[in-house]
C-alpha cells in the first residue's frame, strides 16, 4: 500500500458489511429514480450501480445524488463518495478521539472555547438550575448527547413550562440532558431562512502541521429545529475558496430549490458572510484533538463571528449535483492533494 493510501482492512470490512446488509429492493427503487430523472433503462442502471459499488466504492445513494448516470468514467473519478469517506475516517482517527466527537457533552467540554454560548447538563437533582437556565434564555435547544442526523434535538420555550419538576423529569426521561443557548445567526443567513439556525459544514484534514479545507456545504432548514434533511432541509455547495454558492439547493429526495421555499431567496446568490473567519475557526478547532485528523465541522456565522456547533469524525460527503449545478466534477482532487490517497 502506498504511503498515505487507503488501508485495505477498513475497505474490506466496509464491503463485507455492505454485502451483508444489501437490500436489493431498495437498490431497484433507486435505479427507478435514476430512470425517472435521466431516462436511463432500469436494468442498465441497476447493473452499473452494483458494479460501481463493488469496484469503485460508490454508495447506491451517491450514484443517485451525484448523477453518476450522466457522467463519464473520468468525471465520476473526481467525486468523493461515502465509502471512501468512511475509510478515511477510520484511517485518520483514533478511538479515544472519536469518543469526544460522538458524545455532545464530551465535545462541549473539550471545545467550550469555540462554542461561545451557554450550556447546561441536566442531572438528577438540578431542577432549580434548569429553571434558571431556561427562564434566562427564554428559548433553548435540548439535545440527546449521542445522536445523529439532527435527531434527538428539540426546542423548548420557557413560556410553555408550567411545572418545572415535570419538565425536568421529562428531559431526563427523553435523554435530552444537554441544554444549550439558541445561536443568533448573521442577518445574511437569516435572510434565506430565519426560522432555523443554518449551519455550514466545513470538511477539513489536519496533516499534523496544516489544516486543509476539502469541501464546504451550506445547509438550509425549513423553520424546524434542525437543518438536516430529516427535517426537510437541503444544501448547496460553496466555493471552498470564496464561500459563494455554486448552484441552487438540493437534497437526497430529488427536490431542487432554485429559491428557498419560505423566503424566495435565490440560493445561487448566497454568499457566506465572514467566510475567512469561519475557515480560521475550523483551522484552530481541527488542531484541538490530534487523534481526529479528518472531520466535518458544523459552524454557524453570527453577527459577531463564527461559532462551532459540533464536529463529526465520520465526516460524510457533500458534493456537487451536476444536473443542478452544471459542474461535472467533484471535490476528490482536493481530498487527494491534502491527504495523499
Are 247 and 325 spatial neighbours (Cβ–Cβ below 8 Å)? yes
- The residues pairing with 271 across neighbouring beta strands, listed in sequence order, are 244
Can you give the pLDDT of all 341 residues of the chain as single tens digits?
Answer: 333 456 666 666 665 666 667 788 899 999 999 999 999 999 999 999 999 999 999 999 999 999 999 999 999 999 999 999 999 999 999 999 999 999 999 999 999 999 999 999 999 999 999 999 999 999 999 999 998 776 799 999 999 999 999 999 999 999 999 999 999 999 999 999 999 999 999 999 999 999 999 999 999 999 999 999 999 999 999 999 999 999 999 999 999 999 999 999 999 999 999 999 999 999 999 999 999 999 999 999 999 999 999 999 999 999 999 999 999 999 999 999 999 99
Give the C-alpha separation, 93 to 311, whole Å. 13
Q: What single-letter DSSP state applies at residue 213?
A: E
Question: Could you read off the pLDDT of 38-82 as tens digits, one per residue?
Answer: 999 999 999 999 999 999 999 999 999 999 999 999 999 999 999
The DSSP annotation for 146-200 comes to: S--TTTTEEEEEGGG-S-HHHHHHHHHHHT--EEEEPP---HHHHTT-SSS---E
Largest CA distance in the chain: 63
Return mean pLDDT, the chain: 94
This prediction's pTM: 0.93
Contacts of 128 (CB under 8 A, 6+ apart): 164
From the list 315, 339, 297, 330, the residue with the least C-alpha distance to 85 is: 315
From the list 98, 182, 95, the residue with the least C-alpha distance to 140 is: 182
The CATH number corresponding to 94-106+185-313 among 3.50.50.60, 3.30.470.20, 3.40.50.20, 3.90.320.10 equals 3.30.470.20
Secondary structure class of 244 (helix, strand, coil): strand
Are 34 and 44 spatial neighbours (Cβ–Cβ below 8 Å)? no
Question: Could you read off the pLDDT of 190-238 as tens digits, one per residue?
Answer: 999 999 999 999 999 999 999 999 999 999 999 999 999 999 999 999 9
The CATH number corresponding to 118-181 among 1.10.1070, 1.10.3470, 3.40.50, 3.30.1490 equals 3.30.1490
Q: What single-letter DSSP state applies at residue 84?
A: H
CA 240 to chain centre: 15
Name the grid cell of 60: 447506491
For position 16, what pLDDT does the model report? Answer: 63
3-state helix, strand, coil in the chain (%, to 5): 40, 20, 40
Q: How many residues are present in the chain?
A: 341
All structural domains of the chain with their residue ranges: 94-106+185-313, 118-181
For position 18, what pLDDT does the model report? Answer: 62
For position 5, what pLDDT does the model report? Answer: 56
For position 4, what pLDDT does the model report? Answer: 41
For position 151, what pLDDT does the model report? Answer: 79
For position 38, what pLDDT does the model report? Answer: 96
Give the C-alpha separation, 38 to 99, whole Å. 42
- How distant, in Å, are the alpha carbons of 86, 94, 187, 201, 294 from that of 237? 20, 29, 20, 9, 19
Amino acid at each position: 500500500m502506498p504511503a498515505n493510501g487507503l488501508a485495505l482492512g477498513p475497505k474490506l470490512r466496509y464491503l463485507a458489511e455492505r454485502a451483508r446488509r444489501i437490500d436489493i429492493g431498495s437498490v431497484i427503487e433507486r435505479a427507478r429514480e435514476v430512470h425517472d430523472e435521466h431516462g436511463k433503462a432500469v436494468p442498465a442502471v441497476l447493473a452499473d450501480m452494483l458494479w460501481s459499488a463493488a469496484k469503485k466504492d460508490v454508495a447506491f445513494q451517491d450514484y443517485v445524488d451525484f448523477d453518476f448516470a450522466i457522467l463519464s468514467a473520468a468525471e465520476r473519478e473526481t467525486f468523493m463518495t461515502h465509502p471512501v469517506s468512511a475509510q478515511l475516517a477510520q484511517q485518520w482517527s483514533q478511538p479515544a478521539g472519536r469518543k469526544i466527537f460522538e458524545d455532545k457533552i464530551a465535545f462541549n467540554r473539550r471545545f467550550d472555547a469555540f462554542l461561545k454560548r451557554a450550556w447546561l447538563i441536566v442531572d438528577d437533582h438540578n431542577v432549580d438550575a434548569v429553571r434558571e437556565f431556561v427562564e434566562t434564555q427564554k428559548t433553548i435547544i435540548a439535545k440527546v448527547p449521542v445522536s445523529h442526523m439532527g435527531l434527538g434535538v428539540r426546542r423548548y420555550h420557557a413560556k410553555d413550562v408550567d411545572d418545572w419538576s415535570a419538565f425536568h423529569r421529562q428531559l431526563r426521561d427523553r435523554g435530552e440532558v444537554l441544554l444549550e443557548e439558541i445561536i443568533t445567526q448573521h442577518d445574511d443567513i437569516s435572510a434565506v431562512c430565519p426560522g432555523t439556525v443554518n449551519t455550514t459544514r466545513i470538511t477539513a484534514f489536519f496533516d499534523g502541521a496544516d489544516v486543509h479545507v476539502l469541501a464546504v456545504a451550506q445547509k438550509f432548514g425549513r423553520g424546524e429545529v434542525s437543518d438536516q434533511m430529516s427535517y426537510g432541509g437541503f444544501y448547496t455547495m460553496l466555493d471552498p475558496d470564496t464561500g459563494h454558492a455554486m448552484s441552487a439547493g438540493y437534497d437526497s429526495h430529488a427536490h431542487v430549490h432554485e429559491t428557498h421555499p419560505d423566503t424566495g431567496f435565490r440560493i445561487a446568490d448566497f454568499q457566506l458572510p465572514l467566510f475567512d473567519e469561519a475557515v480560521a475557526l475550523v483551522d484552530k478547532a481541527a488542531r484541538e484533538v490530534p487523534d481526529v485528523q479528518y472531520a466535518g465541522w458544523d459552524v454557524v456565522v453570527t453577527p459577531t463571528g463564527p461559532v462551532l456547533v459540533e464536529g463529526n469524525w465520520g465526516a460524510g460527503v457533500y458534493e456537487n449535483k451536476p444536473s443542478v449545478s452544471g459542474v461535472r466534477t467533484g471535490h476528490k482532487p482536493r481530498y487527494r492533494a491534502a491527504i495523499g490517497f
